[in-house]
């Protein structure tokens, strides 16, 4: 699952791994030979996150836009282990959604033979691999000024383009759609960039807003609460490796204690002890909420 904070965390890791290092090899299906030859021998000039998009720029003038959707993931390996066939791919997981303990299935032991690999970037001492990501677009001009990035709403994790007033205006435009639920509006990247299913549920819980409320019904207090908590929670997730809830003293660090309501259906609310619920039909994506705190 790729949401704004996690995408920015990945961007930081990739920059740390590749910056200042010459690209010795790049492997990807259907990669144009001209583009490939321009990347070889170059270095990563920068990588930036735009909502859920990653934009690479190589020193040779080649750009790469990557969107991981719900399935993509990046992994990092030592070159020596990769060359010897000792670099193992991430485990394959069962398709059962929202399970607290999904079944792990590991079949392939050598990442070079894993069918999920979509892109491999190799330097002298490190290997960067992208698995399952459906969007890998190389170009000779920047994708930032083109769709879909061009139409993205403000990004709370990008101080250069984050503008609360613009968010208010965009939300106002969509509020005219009477049946649009706030839980679905928060997932609209043209309103605010970077919010995914996890942060949607967490934000609405913090703001005490019922997820099935239409955005046209939000009062001024609820709107101001959203504008305050959205950047606050996204930045907290970025600074805490995707965690959205602060651990209490002596509390175990587990999947159950990472979040406020997300993927906690059937468990007690941290505030009122009411059982957290989940809904998979009324909203575009599964929604988690407390029926008491979010009346």
Q: Which residues pair with 44 in a beta bridge?
A: 19, 58
| pLDDT computed for residue 98 by the predictor | 47
**264 class by beta-carbon count within 10 Å (0-12 exposed, 13-18 middle, 19+ buried):** buried
Residue pair 180/214 in contact by the 8 Å Cβ criterion: yes
| pLDDT computed for residue 276 by the predictor | 97
Measure the CA–CA gap between 77 and 186, rounded to whole angstroms. Answer: 35
| pLDDT computed for residue 165 by the predictor | 83
Judged by average pLDDT, the poorest of 135-149, 154-168, 233-247, 280-294 is 154-168
Contacts of 49 (CB under 8 A, 6+ apart): 4, 7, 8, 10, 11, 55, 155, 157, 158, 194
Pick from 211, 210, 216, 231: which is nearest to 167 by CA? Answer: 231
Name the segment(s) of the chain with CATH classification 3.20.190.10.
4-150
Name the segment(s) of the chain with CATH classification 1.10.8.50.
152-289
pLDDT at 159 over 70: no
Note the pLDDT tens digit of each residue in 59-85: 999 999 999 988 899 999 999 999 999
Pick from 276, 175, 257: which is nearest to 216 by CA? Answer: 175
Residue pair 270/235 in contact by the 8 Å Cβ criterion: no
User: Which fold would CATH assign to domain 4-150?
Assistant: N-terminal domain of MutM-like DNA repair proteins (3.20.190)
Note the pLDDT tens digit of each residue in 102-154: 555 556 789 999 999 999 999 999 999 999 988 999 999 999 999 999 999 98
Note the pLDDT tens digit of each residue in 20-41: 999 999 999 889 999 999 999 9
Sheet holding 53-58, edge to edge: 44-50, 53-58, 63-67, 135-139
Residue pair 47/54 in contact by the 8 Å Cβ criterion: yes
| pLDDT computed for residue 265 by the predictor | 96
pLDDT at 198 over 70: yes
- Virtual torsion, Cα 157, 158, 159, 160, nearest 10 deg: -170
Measure the CA–CA gap between 22 and 33, rounded to whole angstroms. Answer: 18
Percent helix / strand / coil, the chain, rounded to 5: 30, 20, 50
Contacts of 207 (CB under 8 A, 6+ apart): 222, 225, 226, 229
Residue pair 117/136 in contact by the 8 Å Cβ criterion: no
| pLDDT computed for residue 74 by the predictor | 96
User: Which fold would CATH assign to domain 152-289?
Assistant: Helicase, Ruva Protein; domain 3 (1.10.8)
Pick from 168, 84, 82, 89: which is nearest to 126 by CA? Answer: 82
């Amino acid at each position: 699952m790729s949401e704004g904070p996690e995408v920015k965390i990945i961007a930081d890791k990739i920059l740390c791994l590749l910056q200042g290092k010459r690209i010795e090899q790049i492997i990807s299906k259907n990669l144009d030979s001209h583009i490939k030859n321009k990347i070889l021998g170059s270095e990563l000039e920068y990588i930036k996150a735009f909502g859920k998009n990653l934009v690479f720029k190589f020193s040779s003038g080649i750009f790469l836009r990557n969107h991981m959707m719900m399935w993509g993931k990046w992994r990092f390996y030592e070159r020596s282990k990769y060359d010897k066939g000792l670099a193992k791919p991430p485990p394959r997981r069962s398709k059962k959604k929202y399970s607290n303990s999904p079944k792990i299935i590991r079949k392939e032991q050598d990442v070079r033979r894993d069918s999920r690999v979509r892109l491999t970037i190799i330097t002298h001492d490190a290997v960067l691999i992208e698995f399952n990501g459906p969007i890998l677009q190389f170009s000779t001009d920047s994708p930032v000024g083109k769709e879909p990035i061009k139409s993205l709403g403000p990004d709370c994790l990008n101080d250069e383009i984050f503008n609360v007033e613009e968010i208010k205006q965009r939300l106002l435009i969509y509020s005219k759609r009477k049946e649009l639920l706030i839980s679905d509006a928060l997932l609209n990247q043209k309103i605010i960039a970077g919010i995914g299913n996890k942060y949607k549920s967490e934000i609405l819980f913090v703001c005490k807003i019922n997820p099935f409320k239409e955005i046209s019904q939000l009062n001024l207090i609820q709107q101001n609460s959203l504008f305050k908590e959205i950047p606050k929670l996204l930045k907290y997730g970025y600074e805490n490796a995707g965690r959205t809830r602060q651990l209490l003293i002596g509390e175990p660090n587990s999947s159950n204690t990472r979040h406020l309501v997300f993927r906690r259906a059937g468990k007690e609310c941290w505030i009122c002890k009411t059982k957290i619920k989940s809904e998979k039909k009324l909203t575009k994506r599964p929604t988690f909420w407390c029926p008491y705190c979010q009346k």
